[in-house]
Structure 1
Amino acid sequence: MSTAPQINIPNCGAVQGKQTETQPTVAKFLNIPYATVPERWRPAVKAAPWSGVRDATIQGPVCHQPSSENPLVSMNSSAVDEDDEVEYSKVYSEEHCLNLNIFAPHDGLNSKFKPLIPVMVWIHGGGYKDGSNGMSLYDATNMVALSVKGIGRPVIVVTINYRLNYFGFLSSAELVQDIQSDKRLSGKNGEKSVGNWGLLDQKIALEWVRDHIEAFGGNPKDVTVFGESAGAASIGYHLAIPTHHGLFQRAILQSGAATTMIAGRPDMEGQRYFNNLCQHFKLNESGLTGAQKLEQLKKIPAKDLVKAANNGKVGMFIPTIDNVLIRSDPRGWVHDSARYDPNVKAVMLGDCRDEGRMFVPTLGAKNLKRWPRFFARNCPPGLEKEFEAIYGIPKTDAEAASISAIVLSDSVFLYPIHATSRALLASQPQLEMSRFHFDHPLQVVEEMELGLGAHHAAELPFVFGSDAYQELFSDAEKELSLRVMEVWILFAWGETSRQHGLKHGQNSLLPSDVGVGGQRKEAVVFTEECTVEKKLVERLDARTLAFWRQSESWAKAKREEQNKQRQGQAKL
């Protein structure tokens, strides 16, 4: 018979969770508030303590968000409501969406682990536009159960919500002026940051873990943060923002780094999103000033505001270069080893084999008509022959789609991961560095005949092994999921190859350090055939890496020139 575990969290209050029926070794605590949003486009504040025993058995509110085209997201939503919002939760709330879920070993709650056990904090992806800790995809019950009874390395997994889309990552000149003129904000702890509220939410969540996870048997000094896509990019930013240092000791970046989601400028990229909102709500026709438009946008109900992100004119949201939290173009500092958190002991980074395929319709060239624009955006002047030698030039629509998918994989995922790996290794010679590649296409997605292969986020069902996917996995995929979870759990325990070698039979799973030059030829590869092998760390050869380094420098210089021109025009 299951019991209802109860925990008293010092300086917060008591919570009552539930012992999972399918995995009685695991206890769940859902909807624990770590912060609240006092008003739109302002920093969150830490949640106030509560009296009595809080029911922590029901999924909490999530951030309002538009529907997603990701097949994994659509498969994990129970429904889409009449307002076109994906139903991860029965409740959406702008004020109370900042909550976290905790999956912990049940027995450890009573006996209190001695010593305390490692903690893994999950930051979900979704292009900073959608996603939630309420997705069944991120149910960590089976992962924690495996850690306890499968490999004897218990972990606690915490999954967090943070503000998304217009609520977490909108910026504009009007918002900058609005924040700067708010005398209630001291300017400390990033309070006057603009367009990075989602990143600040994540920081508060990590601070909550630091301050309170010991009540659940977790070690606040042994935290692994892991995330995918926008979640991985977020970790890349946390690693480089000084005021965010010291909140975790290990990191796993899945399909992303800071330069995968390059921060934009309030008066350029951010302004386009702001102007789109004004156009959507017909505020441009009213003769209002910029400040008045902003005040009108603040009054629009959240469920109506988010609909503007479904109108086909908005893509992925991005952080903001606000001169507070993020002070310059990430392409300039991603290579600077001195910027990275010196407290981090180990980092694992990896990718999926066919990352770019999912993004061809929005970012690529799905036909020859769109190729010239795609080519001009991705090939610096003077490097046309080099581009052609590496990727070729398409002659058919199918070739245009295929080549642009490879280019997107290389430029958006593989090269940023490589650049971040090099900088991190240079920052700390003692840093444990691991790399992985995920090559297995999920069988149920292959049966949809979407042609996505081992697409972006394909590894997620295997990382968590939730019940929602156990029903969809083949027998071989079930075994592969166990191996993936095992690697992630052992990484959180610090059991990397350098330290443990042949221990626990993991010598064929955990890679050697890649080395600053990427010379070591070992990375853990989850193959198409559901085996786990060691293969090359870098899948981009030296010529391709050099090309994207030049392309990165060109794009950065192009932005700097735009900034100079704008500043010159402003003086006229």
Structure 2
Amino acid sequence: MHSVVKTRSGEVRGTVAPGVAAFLGIPYAAAPSGPLRFREPAPVPPWEGVRDATEHGPTAPAPGYPAPFSDLLPVVRVPGEEILNLDVWTPDPSATGLPVMVWIHGGAFVNGSNSIPVYDGSAFARDGVVLVSVNYRLGAEGFLHLPDAPPNRGLLDQVAALRWVRDEIAAFGGDPDAVTVFGESAGAMSVGALLAMPSARGLFRRAILQSGAAHHALGAATASKVTGYLAEDVGVEPTAAGFAAVPPVRLVAGQQALSAQAATQPDPARWGEITLNAMVFEPVVDGEVLPALPIEAVAAGAGADVELLVGSNRDEHRFFLVPTGAADRVTDAALAAVAGAYRLPDGALDAYRAERPGDPPGLVLADVMSDWFFRIPALRLAEATGRAHVYEFDWVTPVLDGRLGSCHALELGFVFDTLAAATDLGGGDAPQELATQMHAAWVAFARTGDPGWPPYTQGRAVRRFGDVVETVADPRGGIRELWTGIR
């Protein structure tokens, strides 16, 4: 069966199944190609007749994940230039006033799309939520800092999608005044940036940040260096006019080479703040689109009217260290060097080892890096706002003999209640009851702002989702205190 909905640009035809109607690949801005390449998102040209919206739209150019990560994270590529598109799942387009959730995918700002099966929004629609999933420009197209182009174009795409939701979502049954924006990894960092952006103000009421917060963005000086490096690689001037002559596939190859170099040759003189996270393309503090580092803007009152849910997974960084065997090659000396780079105090590594006696240096390193990159920023955001709910996901996947632990991206199938699509990372026997509870918490937060446990201000309350679902007070508080004064 099919359903037709009228938008301001034209009519769209989606598919209808029991309890859910899906409208896929709807453009929210014009194709960013030709004269619109490296420009801010432009309005969608209207169309005549009824546009088919039964298949996912084109995806942004991306390099994909190298092995062995390609075995753990699915990739979907859809060719075409109309990459600024979104998907909508709704219980009923004729309904009114339903809560809306807008999903921003992860992928380190260079990979990912809204068409990955684990992001299917049917379960949200089943539970009375209109789910919108967004594609946006990635890598150089979205985040290369250029002197003759708008900065942070990938973030501006996300704002354009949120404006589309404000203007159009009522036609799909949603309430434009009850929007929750949520994302994971780079998607969560995007949400952190949106909290700080003047152009995003008033476009969402609530926000959920999974495995990413508001601490990571490049300074303009470092971002300009990256522009120069990429221009040298592809043989053009470091301007939008110069890069416009380079096909997107060539830019992707160039950015992939830069990312590999930053990861394997972390020279602070060359890479600046990129040295610590190896993310060559990410939001840039440009002074206008993103006026300040997001955590600083939030601490100063930005996004003060937005209710927050934020958290991380217990073993985030095992995802990056275990599959390649890097965890097995870490020495005590290397572990100490990383702890020093993070400015942890003397004795900190002893405290980490005491948490999990017998763990080899590589797994201790994973714990340290998980805290630096994911857990501590989440807690700092909660502390800065004074109104956030905090969670921790700690179910252990059996994949790779359990050594992945509760790693990065593992919670996604539970949040979306799509475990059958998440077997590469979660195995084939993940607990449905845990997915039911975690998904329900996200739905409750979107409806009311209360996911079912107290805010962090009440005794540092954290909801732990694992073999047991419980609220705990200040888990690993001693470890948390080691990071006092360290950003």
Shorter-chain TM band: 0.7 to 0.9
Note the C-alpha offset of 1:299.
1.0
Partner of 2:217: 263
Note the C-alpha offset of 1:72.
7.7
Note the C-alpha offset of 1:51.
1.3
Contact 2:11 2:49 in 1 (8 A): yes
Question: In the alignment, is residue 539 of structure 1 matched against residue 485 of structure 2?
Answer: no
The counterpart of 2:247, out of the listed 286, 301, 307, is 301
CA distance in 2, matches of 1:273, 1:364: 29
CA distance 1:540–1:335, shift in 2 (3 Å): farther
The normalised TM-score by structure 2 is: 0.86
Contact 1:242 1:341 in 2 (8 A): no
Partner of 1:57: 54
Partner of 2:77: 89
CA distance in 2, matches of 1:239, 1:464: 23
Contact 2:83 2:135 in 1 (8 A): yes
Partner of 1:440: 395
CA distance 1:279–1:452, shift in 2 (3 Å): farther
Partner of 2:3: 5
RMSD: 2.8
- Deviation readout 1:22-71 (Å, 9 max, x if unpaired): xx211110010001225332211121221110000111101000112597
1:241-252 pair list within 5 angstroms? 241-252=197-208
Contact 2:196 2:291 in 1 (8 A): no
- Deviation readout 1:340-388 (Å, 9 max, x if unpaired): 242x2x32111111012223489999523644642342116xx4x2534
> Counterpart of 1:525 in structure 2: which amino acid?
R
CA distance 1:290–1:463, shift in 2 (3 Å): closer
Partner of 1:563: none
CA distance in 1, matches of 2:19, 2:314: 35
Partner of 1:413: 374
Partner of 2:459: 519
Note the C-alpha offset of 1:227.
0.8
Q: How many residues align?
A: 458
The counterpart of 1:141, out of the listed 111, 122, 126, is 122
Question: In the alignment, is residue 25 of structure 1 matched against residue 19 of structure 2?
Answer: yes
Contact 1:252 1:348 in 2 (8 A): yes
Note the C-alpha offset of 1:308.
2.0
Contact 1:102 1:157 in 2 (8 A): yes
Question: In the alignment, is residue 275 of structure 1 matched against residue 228 of structure 2?
Answer: yes
SS in 1 for 2:439: helix
CA distance 1:372–1:546, shift in 2 (3 Å): closer
SS in 2 for 1:5: strand
Point out where structure 2 has 5 or more consecutive residues left out of the alignment.
Answer: 263-277
CA distance in 2, matches of 1:415, 1:160: 27
Note the C-alpha offset of 1:326.
2.2
The normalised TM-score by structure 1 is: 0.74
CA distance in 2, matches of 1:228, 1:308: 26
Partner of 2:409: 457
For structure 1, which segment, 240-249 or 308-317, has the greater mean C-alpha deviation from structure 2 after superposition? 308-317
Partner of 1:551: 486
CA distance 1:461–1:289, shift in 2 (3 Å): closer
SS in 2 for 1:163: coil
Partner of 1:113: 95
> Counterpart of 2:459 in structure 1: which amino acid?
Q
CA distance in 1, matches of 2:288, 2:282: 16
Partner of 1:559: none
CA distance 1:330–1:25, shift in 2 (3 Å): closer
CA distance 1:241–1:50, shift in 2 (3 Å): same
CA distance 1:364–1:203, shift in 2 (3 Å): farther
- Deviation readout 1:138-186 (Å, 9 max, x if unpaired): 11113322x0xxxxxx111000001111111112xxx22x23xxxxxxx
CA distance 1:549–1:198, shift in 2 (3 Å): farther
CA distance 1:241–1:341, shift in 2 (3 Å): farther
CA distance 1:465–1:199, shift in 2 (3 Å): same
Partner of 1:367: 330
Contact 2:95 2:172 in 1 (8 A): no
SS in 2 for 1:461: helix
Partner of 1:225: 181
| Structure of higher CA gyration radius | 1
CA distance in 2, matches of 1:461, 1:478: 10
Partner of 1:184: none
Contact 1:410 1:540 in 2 (8 A): no
CA distance in 1, matches of 2:342, 2:436: 39
Identity of aligned residues (%): 33
Point out where structure 1 has 5 or more consecutive residues left out of the alignment.
Answer: 78-85, 148-153, 180-191, 426-430, 498-509, 553-572
